[in-house]
Amino acid sequence: MSPKQALASTMSNPLANRNGPVRCSTWYVAPGIFFVVLAVYILSSAGRIDIVDGQARYDVAYNWLTEGRPVLRDSWIGPFMGVPGRDGLRYSYYGAPASFFSIPLLWLAKFFDTPAREVSRFLFSLTSCFFGAAIAGVLFLFYVELGVSHRRAVFWVAVSSFATLLWPLSTSTFDNAQHAFFLLAASYLGFMSAKRSSKLLAAASGSLAAVLILYQEYFLLLVPVLAVSTLRWDFANDAISANPPVGSPKSWYSELNSGFYYDLRRLFELARAAFREGGEARASCDRFLLCAGTAVTVGLALSFTYNNLRFGSFLDDGKLRPELHPFPLFGNPLAGLVTLLLSPGKSVFLYSPPLILGLLAILHFRVIQRAVAFTVVTTSIVLISFLSCILFVGGDWCWGPRYLAPLLPLWALGLPFLGGKIRREVVLSIIGAGLIIQMLALSVENQRFFFERSLPAYFWAYDPWFYFKHSALFARVSETISLSKGLPSNAQFFNSIPISDWCTYTILGPPVNLPSGRIPEWMLHFKIYYLPRPWPLWMSWIKPAMRPINLQAWVYTLLGILGIGLVSICRGLELGLKKRSAPYIEVEKEAALP
């Protein structure tokens, strides 16, 4: 069997040539990856609510747990982040999942919390760490189903987890890492439904996509292309060749463009075959409709129910109230597109350099898995096209283009299939750059960049080309170096609310009547801007009696979890290496790291 034949055989049934020990090794490695990534993410997280969005979601979750309804009662952020709703109460306009999924952590905090609720806020800030670790586990399982060896899968999972924007976003109280998990998990179950011809898995994929709609309604745009992952394109008696045209286009762009139109034609032929002939083509269309229908039906039904619970209307979600939007929703599409892709301040390629490798790998990947590659490309086109049109394309105040985080795990799927034409040194340099950028992201409080420049709250609305003039990424180098100088002499507080000794409550902006030119001076009074961001570091500056948790106990426990995860990964890799079959080894060589 040639390497290419082994590759095709393994892609169609990657477990066919493996025995029990190899299959068992997957269930050692996957949990091990989850524990390792979880421990690293928690140890490097902010350990406090780092943005007012997170504070609103925390307050909703806390009241949902203690009162039984998702009301917003916070007296500091409620007046400007709450919307009047049922019974004269104020509610958040954010979707339910980001608050709902943190409730187990808040329930656990009840056994250790103080009246100041420092423990519950600390645990809430770790919510996205669990989702980020789950992304790593699902990505590994996806790699295995695509025929990637365990060792290579672990390597590229590490690249995705620690060299892309997923790392800092998984340690934040923004919910974009949660979006990334549900998009990847829905794609994985869709792929498995096609592989196993399972309608149940197609419905499960649609159910996960429905959760995305509960976060943000614009994810409805992704449902049709996400459901393509449930299709099998190897249906019989189709009108066009089962193999895409190869070799005619000259450039990678023209080849990708040609392949994209070929895939669209093939989808059309599949739909026509479903009506005329039935068989696998009709079964694929049934799974597609089941996945998309489940996503839309369940997503809209739960969304309407939550709207009615808060505001007494199925269609009113509170987001489009005029008082919340002093500026138009949509802006300059050209400015938005180039900001997300090319600007020094928000380019997704600068904040996640391994994405470049994902682009280079997509041509080889689509030969192996056309349906998955088509889903990755079309999902990216739809999401980027929509985001480019909105005025707040940068998602500020934040680190990097956070709205594009859901695409990063999808593009990571092609990384193990990177062709051999790229030098190994170049690949490792790109990965190393990504790792350094993420470590810079975790080093300093993100809002320092905005306050040092005295930016108004809606600065992005006044200048759509702002990020071609300023870059938080480039500024981070000097910000990180400045940490070595220690605290300014007048830095006394951790917080800007009247209760200044709370260290896990979010930082609010300066007083409304403070002249903009004095904002950098105002910032000098708060320690959090001049201490390292990860909680094990800044928390060491607080007296033990004032800390929300036992610092040493938490660090040692997390290091223990990290060790357990590493042992589990090593054990799984050892099992996998013992009994791999020859065709599988050839596949690994065929797709070896350049």
DSSP string, 392-434: TTT-SSSSS-GGGTTHHHHHHTTGGG--TTS-HHHHHHHHHHH
The whole-number average pLDDT for the span 487-515 is 85
pLDDT tens, residue by residue, 210-258: 999 999 999 999 999 999 999 987 654 444 444 444 444 455 555 555 5
Residue 201 half-sphere exposure, CB side, CA atoms within 13 Å?
17
Out of 147-161, 278-292, 434-448, which region has the weakest mean confidence (pLDDT)? Answer: 278-292
Q: Residue 468: in which H helix or E strand, if any?
A: none
Is the pLDDT assigned to residue 5 strictly greater than 70? no
d(C-alpha 292, C-alpha 573), whole Å: 37
Is the pLDDT assigned to residue 530 strictly greater than 70? yes
Is the pLDDT assigned to residue 401 strictly greater than 60? yes
More confident residue, 423 or 119: 119
Q: Is the peptide bond before 397 cis (omega within 30 degrees of 0)?
A: yes
Is the pLDDT assigned to residue 591 strictly greater than 70? no
The band of 494, judged by pLDDT with boundaries at 50, 70 and 90, is confident
Q: Which two tokens stand for residue 92?
A: 């958040």
Residue 493 in contact with residue 500, Cβ under 8 Å? Answer: yes
Burial label for 416, CB within 10 Å (0-12, 13-18, 19+), is buried
d(C-alpha 109, C-alpha 103), whole Å: 10
The pLDDT assigned to 7 comes to 44
Nearest C-alpha neighbor of 472 from the set 353, 570, 343, 378:
343
Phi, psi of 330 (to 5 degrees): -105, 150
The pLDDT assigned to 369 comes to 84
Is the pLDDT assigned to residue 180 strictly greater than 70? yes
Share of the chain above pLDDT 70, in %: 89
More confident residue, 499 or 375: 375
The pLDDT assigned to 237 comes to 42
d(C-alpha 499, C-alpha 493), whole Å: 10
Is the pLDDT assigned to residue 19 strictly greater than 50? no
- Measured between its terminal Cα atoms, the distance across the chain in Å is 23
Nearest C-alpha neighbor of 589 from the set 119, 37, 106, 1:
1
pTM value is 0.91
Residues forming a β-bridge with 90: 84
Contacts of 234 (CB under 8 A, 6+ apart): 242, 280
Three-state helix/strand/coil letters over 283-301: HHHHHHHHHHHHHHHHHHH
Is the pLDDT assigned to residue 478 strictly greater than 90? yes
The whole-number average pLDDT for the span 349-378 is 90
